Amino acid sequence: MPDVRALARAFRENTPAGDSADFLRKRFDAGLAWVHYPEGLGGLGAARSQQAIVEEELAGTPSNDPRRIGIGLGMAAPTILRHGTDAQKQRFLRPLWTGEELWCQLFSEPGAGSDLAGLATRAVRDGDGWRITGQKVWTSMAHHARWAILLARTDPELPKHRGLTYFVCDMTAPGVDVRPLRQLTGEAEFNEVFLTDVFLPDDLRLGAVGEGWAVARTTLMNERVSIGGGATPRGGGLIGVLTDLWKTDPGVRSAAAQDEMMRLWVAAEAARLTGERVRQQLAAGEPGPEGSAVKLAFAELAQKITGLELELRGADGLRHDDWTMRRGELVDFEGRSPTYRWLRAKGTSIEGGTSEILRNIIAERVLGLPAEPRTDTTVPWRELPR
């Protein structure tokens, strides 16, 4: 086992913190980006838990906002690491981690959300590459992304899960058209993405042809852990926003509201400890199904806490900060107005798998309850009603 602390210390002493991007590239090359990744890919092959030591030693040095690079970090990276070729790992992981190249996720379509495997975007062989045509939707941060993880249909004659292939999409390629889609918060974090005859060379394919669903499952498992799965201190995050208000504004305090707030405090702390326990369970590899519990609980809590905050504020809870249409930079639950928080929290039970779908997953994959009778998984995709 490498002495992570000594390496981090030595790195800090020997690396001038001048240019931020340069510092991050060096940090990656020193294996101190994500220590549980293999050597040469930003890691040291160490235990995941050792990362905390690195963060401690490098505190105050240039870093990336995890919210800005979250899709790359939480979804693209683990998928590339697990299913990518050596060349793909070498090409993509470093600029992904340093934030020089941002990523987005081209999964959902107008006709395929919860039922992702039913998607219709087509990928057709063209010489040494593929032509992609279709429409994606709800694509967060597509307007900033250099690359996308893309799921497309390569064989419509097979049942839906079997005819999919996973690609890395070049967002600068001709035929990629990103259009903002305004949300109920007034701004546009997400987009519609139209793909028209987009050419992707075959070396942008991730995993084997027809194996797209297996690759996508790696992405989805990781997505659920990355939403709401990060380490926060006790009383931090949204519950901290609420208790700060409670402490500083006597007008919001009452005995009745106190018990409701404490219920949420308890729920937040229980969820936090559960996330902590899930992280302890993670060996360097794949997150287990417990990630679904973390995401499900986070969504419910975020909605309840932000809802109570508006009620506590009473008349002030009737006023919003700004409805200007903007293209969202990052999701900031704590920085903006209480009404923004409350509205944005409504998305948490939809994005990354709806709460209903997560309950299905828990019931069927964790508890082993029988699946609903269904016919859509055995017939060719082409024959399904759409």
85 makes contact, choosing from ligand FAD, another protein, none, with CB < 5 to 8 Å by partner type, with none
Interface with ligand FAD, residue 351, by CB under 6 A = yes
In whole angstroms, how close is the CB of 282 to another protein at the nearest point? 11
Interface with ligand FAD, residue 354, by CB under 6 A = yes
Q: Applying CB under 6 A, which part among 91-99, 136-144, 162-170, 299-307 lies near ligand FAD? A: 136-144
CA 182, CA 91: separation in Å to the nearest integer? 33
Q: Applying CB under 6 A, which part among 231-239, 265-273, 275-283, 345-353 lies near ligand FAD? A: 345-353
**159, 381 Cβ separation under 8 angstroms:** yes
CA 35, CA 386: separation in Å to the nearest integer? 45
Spatial CA neighbour of 169 closest among 244, 92, 100: 92
Select 84 or 118, whichever has its Cβ closest to ligand FAD: 118
In whole angstroms, how close is the CB of 181 to ligand FAD at the nearest point? 10
271 makes contact, choosing from ligand FAD, another protein, none, with CB < 5 to 8 Å by partner type, with another protein
CA 172, CA 193: separation in Å to the nearest integer? 12
232 makes contact, choosing from ligand FAD, another protein, none, with CB < 5 to 8 Å by partner type, with none
Q: Write a three-state SS string for 319-351.
A: CCCCCCCCECCCCCCCCCCHHHHHHHHHHHHCC
The number of beta carbons lying within 10 Å of the beta carbon of residue 224 is: 25
- Within 227-337, where are the H helices? 237-248, 255-281, 290-313
Q: Which residues bind another protein (CB under 8 A)?
A: 235, 243, 246-247, 250, 253-255, 257-259, 261-263, 265-267, 269-271, 273-274, 276-277, 280-281, 290, 293, 296-297, 356, 358-360, 362-364, 366-373
Q: Applying CB under 6 A, which part among 24-32, 158-166, 226-234, 356-364 lies near ligand FAD? A: 356-364
Site mask, ligand FAD, residues 76-115, x = CB under 6 A? ----------------------------xx-xx----xx-
CA 92, CA 90: separation in Å to the nearest integer? 6
124 makes contact, choosing from ligand FAD, another protein, none, with CB < 5 to 8 Å by partner type, with none
CA 155, CA 122: separation in Å to the nearest integer? 8
**195, 158 Cβ separation under 8 angstroms:** no
Q: How many residues does the chain have?
A: 386
Does residue 100 carry a catalytic annotation? no
Select 120 or 362, whichever has its Cβ closest to another protein: 362
CA 342, CA 305: separation in Å to the nearest integer? 8
The number of beta carbons lying within 10 Å of the beta carbon of residue 108 is: 19
In whole angstroms, how close is the CB of 345 to ligand FAD at the nearest point? 10
Select 145 or 357, whichever has its Cβ closest to another protein: 357
Q: Applying CB under 6 A, which part among 2-10, 44-52, 172-180, 347-355 lies near ligand FAD? A: 347-355
Residue 150 main-chain phi, psi, to 5 deg: -130, 135
> Judged by CB under 6 A, how many residues of this single chain contact ligand FAD?
18
Per-residue tokens: 322: 């700004």
Interface with ligand FAD, residue 356, by CB under 6 A = yes
11 makes contact, choosing from ligand FAD, another protein, none, with CB < 5 to 8 Å by partner type, with none
In whole angstroms, how close is the CB of 183 to ligand FAD at the nearest point? 7
CA 381, CA 377: separation in Å to the nearest integer? 8
In whole angstroms, how close is the CB of 276 to ligand FAD at the nearest point? 26
Cβ contacts of residue 19 below 8 Å, gap of 6+?
A: none
| Residue 368 φ/ψ region, left for φ over 0, alpha for ψ in the -120 to 50 degree band, beta for the rest | left
Give ∠ CA 73-77-80 in degrees, rounded to 5: 170
In whole angstroms, how close is the CB of 114 to ligand FAD at the nearest point? 3
Catalytic residue among 109, 187, 189, 223: 223
In whole angstroms, how close is the CB of 312 to another protein at the nearest point? 11
C-alpha radius of gyration, the chain, whole number: 22
Query: Mind telling me the catalytic residues?
Result: 223
Residues that bind ligand FAD in the complex, under the rule CB under 6 A: 104-105, 107-108, 113-114, 138-140, 190, 347, 350-351, 353-354, 356-357, 360
